[in-house]
Structure 1
Amino acid sequence: MNGDGSALADRVRALLTAHSTREVPMFGGLSFMVDEKMVVSVRPGAELLAHVDPERSPHLVTLPGARPAEMGAGRAMGPGWISVSADVIEDDERLAFWVGEAVEYVGNR
């Protein structure tokens, strides 16, 4: 993982210290599992893939830097999978928001 991705992974780790986590190479990056469920993944270019409540997806994709996630060009991953651009999550508060959304969804499944 490049320097930007490693730094982002460290920031995600810090946000997840209160949870039992496991890290798994997945989706072309490093995914963070909470209670064996994928929460977020740090992707190339220090982008974040967040697994959120599909019912909240229509609202969440309207937020700055968010868009429906794709597995390859033009292949949507479906509701509940959102890519967040690196420039948006440089802000610690915004990163915490996205990680929190994902943890909340996984905790309620």
Structure 2
Amino acid sequence: MAYDELLAQRIHDLLDGEPGLTSRRMFGGLGFMLDGHMAVAAGSAGALMVRVDPARGQEWVDGEDVRPMEMRGRELDGWLLVSGEALADDDRLRLWVGRGAAHVRTLPLK
């Protein structure tokens, strides 16, 4: 399934002007990278994939709107999936995009 184009535009608007910003289609979504590290991705049905510090990710999981990202039935450490319903408000999207961006800014340059 294709990614949510409206969500992708909202993410782009938030990250526009960030140093090292690029985007790339991957995993059926549109990933937004900062200096080569994917911070967030627009998925299908308005869901947002967010890269987070693996040590902190579980504290944000609520089992409904925010859950661990899964691929092929396996949880991906350091990745969360935020439902589209939880992102209807621009402030909530800003919060999650900010968390992903802040985390990748702590990673070594590629």
TM-score normalised according to structure 2 size: 0.88
Q: Which residue, out of 79, 82, 85, partners 1:81?
A: 79
| Structure 1 residue aligned with 2:8 | 9
RMSD: 1.5
Q: Which residue, out of 94, 106, 109, partners 1:108?
A: 106
- Would you say 1:33 and 2:33 are equivalent positions? yes
SS at match of 1:54: coil
Total equivalences in the alignment: 105
- Would you say 1:24 and 2:31 are equivalent positions? no
Asked if the contact 1:64/1:88 (under 8 Å) is kept, the reply is no
- Which string of whole-angstrom CA distances, capped at 9 and with x for unpartnered residues, describes residues 30-54 of structure 1? 1001111101011111110000111
| Structure 1 residue aligned with 2:97 | 99
Distance in 1 between residues matched to 2:82 and 2:54, nearest whole Å: 15
Q: Percent identity?
A: 37
Q: More strand per residue: 1 or 2?
A: 2
Instruction: State the shift of 1:63 in Å.
Output: 7.8
- Would you say 1:68 and 2:84 are equivalent positions? no
